[in-house]
Amino acid sequence: MSFSGVSVVTNGKLHDGSTMNAGAASGYHLLVVEGHMGTQQLIRSRYFTVGGHRWCIYCYPDGLSLQICLYEEMLTTAEPVGAQFEFSLVDDTSKQESARIHGNKIFEFRGYSHHGYDRFMTREELKKHLKDKDNSFTIRCDIVVKNPTWNTSPFILVPPPDMPWNISDFLLAGEGTDVVCRVGDETFAAHRCVLAARSTVFRAALFGPMKEGTSSIAAVVLIDAMDAAVFKAVLGFIYSDSLPVPTQDENEGDLLQHLLVAADPYDITRLKAMCEKNLCEHIDVSTVATILALADQHRCDGLKQTCYQYLRCPANLSAVVATDGFDHLYRSCPDLMKDMMLAMLPPM
């Protein structure tokens, strides 16, 4: 089994490591997690290649839930990727066995799909494996791809799409910027073509009849009713096409709400949809009233229906009614309350 690289995550931040093409239908990747007890956020490995396909490991520290994701786009009509995988904890990264796959179950992966273990082990069990020095541990993920693409052209490896990374490099380097976005007292340099391609609102402002600035002078676009930190995250999404990873001081649910509110008026539809989908995982007694009001205000029908589904459970509804958030929702959104009551009725 070939070695496909190592990812190092310290206090929740991916900062080191290397990846390589395994060059075969099977391979393993090492995820080194340092400072585990200091973070509760999602941990993600670097992307690595096994069997001609691009993979990524997701680790949720609470109970050590592990997922392996096929991180590439595939048509729904395309043949799924069949693969076996196995997670294990290792002590010495320099001494690895050739293979650790047991059993014969084959999982089917399609574009950006994942499989794994919701409860790989408990936190108490994990503590037994932590190294005292830095609360670190290492996860090994073995993958065997049953229908690899590498053997159709063994001497030619086509790298995965890297356009978002290439465009992001321009933003980080500040090269070729020709528009300035002003958010309060802060300014952000950007590229008008990128903004216009990702948002119809920016396209109208920069290239429409009411365009701001000229081609020879950098345009200045005023961003209203948005925090500078939120706009920076939006700008990062525009260039990378991926949601930002919350910092250690940020709450993921709050960040998703801010990004959804920001994406709606600027017609960044993919960002709005991704926030809407991810917010479904943050619905609980303390947040459902706020998320429901947000979904109604920004026309997120799928998110609203997920809130209704959560509230159809009598225990959940009883707990939510006792919260201040529900009282505020009752006073400020009477039409939404009527809609919610109708959603609670059993189907005719």
Instruction: Give the mean pLDDT of the chain.
Output: 82
Q: What would the pLDDT profile of 230-251 be if each residue is shown by its tens digit?
A: 999 999 999 988 888 887 778 8
Give the H/E segment covering residue 231.
helix 228-240
Q: What is the per-residue pLDDT for 93?
A: 59
Tokens linked to 148: 């690899």
Residue 261 is predicted with a pLDDT of: 95
Q: What is the mean pLDDT of residues 52-67?
A: 80
CA 179, distance to chain mean position in Å, is 28
The whole-model pTM stands at 0.54
Confidence class for position 3, pLDDT limits 50, 70, 90: confident
CB 29 within 8 A of CB 55: yes
Per-residue pLDDT, 214: 44
pLDDT of residue 303: 94
Q: Which fold has domain 283-348?
A: 1.25.40
Q: Are 57 and 120 in contact (CB under 8 A)?
A: no
Nearest CA-CA partner of 32 in 93, 114, 95, 85:
93
Lowest mean pLDDT across 59-63, 177-181, 271-275, 286-290: 59-63
What is the pLDDT at residue 77?
61
Read off the pLDDT of each residue in 153-178 and give the average, rounded to a whole number.
Answer: 73
90-111: pLDDT as tens digits: 876 556 666 667 667 888 888 8
**Dist CA 169 CA 163 (whole Å):** 10
Query: What are 329's two structure tokens?
Result: 């929702």
E strands, 51-136, in order? 53-60, 65-70, 81-90, 107-109, 114-117
Give me the CATH topology for the region 162-267.
Potassium Channel Kv1.1; Chain A (3.30.710)
Domain ranges (residues) in the chain? 2-152, 162-267, 283-348
Exposure of 272 by Cβ count < 10 A (0-12 exposed, 13-18 middle, 19+ buried)? buried
Q: Considering the domain 2-152, what is its CATH architecture?
A: Sandwich (2.60)
β-bridge pairing 26-34 and 137-145: antiparallel
**With bands split at pLDDT 50, 70 and 90, how would you rate the model's confidence at 151?**
very low
C-alpha distances in Å from residue 198, one per residue of 93, 192, 206, 220, 231: 43, 10, 12, 18, 14
Q: How confident is the model at residue 152 (pLDDT cuts 50, 70, 90)?
A: very low
Question: How many C-beta atoms lie closer than 10 Å to residue 261's C-beta?
Answer: 17
Q: What is the DSSP letter of 136?
A: B
- The share of the chain scoring above pLDDT 70, in percent, equals 82
